[in-house]
Structure 1
Amino acid sequence: NGAVDVEAALEALEESGGLVEIWRIRRELETLIVKLAVDKAAPEDYASLKRALLKIQRAAEMGDVDEYLEANGQFHLSIAQAAKNPFLKRGLLPLLEITHYQLEQEISPRYLQDHAGELFKKHQTLAEAITNKSLGTAMNAILDHFVASEEVFLGRGKGGDHRENR
């Protein structure tokens, strides 16, 4: 029927080291996107980031994984929109889709609730740096975001089992 078993595809990526590569590519691409967003973002972009931030906060506090993933995707796409480069935004879409599905498999409502403040703060720091056109802070924030994400998604560093009580 031509349908792709996404879970099987993710397992194959993980076994081949492909997921690590996807995260590496996404980190590099989003670093470039953030750099451009700091320079090119306009007031409507700040408003879009703020809306996505509020959704992230609300979803994390409620432990609503689906809503959190949607808001997180909106946040990252809002940054890409602020960069004013449609090619970079288009390049980010499939990477977000793969990592979105992976996150869906890896985190639980309880994990979201337990880490709501920390998750919100990381996104807020990045949004504020873009709004304030603070390149150094924005670069540190996006790299910090990826270090934390890789702990969850790739099982690097601390964190334990994020699927508890799923």
Structure 2
Amino acid sequence: MHESALYSAQYQLEQAKIWRAINLWLGAPAAVSAALAGSAILSSSDNGTLLGASNELGAGLLALFSAALSSILTTVNASRRTTQSQASGNAFLQLQTESRQFILVDLKHLSFDDARARLESITTSRNELNSTADPVGRLAYWKAKRNIEKSGGQTYAVDDMENQD
């Protein structure tokens, strides 16, 4: 359970980073191109008219580009997906902590039936999280797996003390 929560948390947090990057990579150019299109519309040409032909064409292309990026951003809904992945990752971290406390603190002092009931409760929480979390993409999966394998996941000083017993 602890290991499952570790990996699931990392998957979701990596996915959140990807959605945040997508949101920035689509949103920033959309905003800049909209601003440039507005500037082109409002700028004066050399002959004193409000718009010259090149400004009209440039403004139109920038406006279309901005509209296309904004449409993609709205359809993908990267902002909501970032929030959802971040919340799921934090919920899996909470489950990881609960599992860890159960293993290292509570389990030693519980009867078999009480330990089994507590494990069932943790399992139910994990199943609920799995059913509500958005699936992660291959890139997030790969990055999370690499991070855990490289660093060994989260380690605490108490882990070393437990191994000395």
Asked if Structure 1 and Structure 2 have the same fold, meaning a TM-score greater than 0.5 normalized by the shorter chain, the answer is no
Q: Structure 1 length normalisation: TM-score?
A: 0.32
Higher relative contact order (CA 8 A, sep 6+): 2
Q: Structure 2 length normalisation: TM-score?
A: 0.32
Higher helix proportion? 2
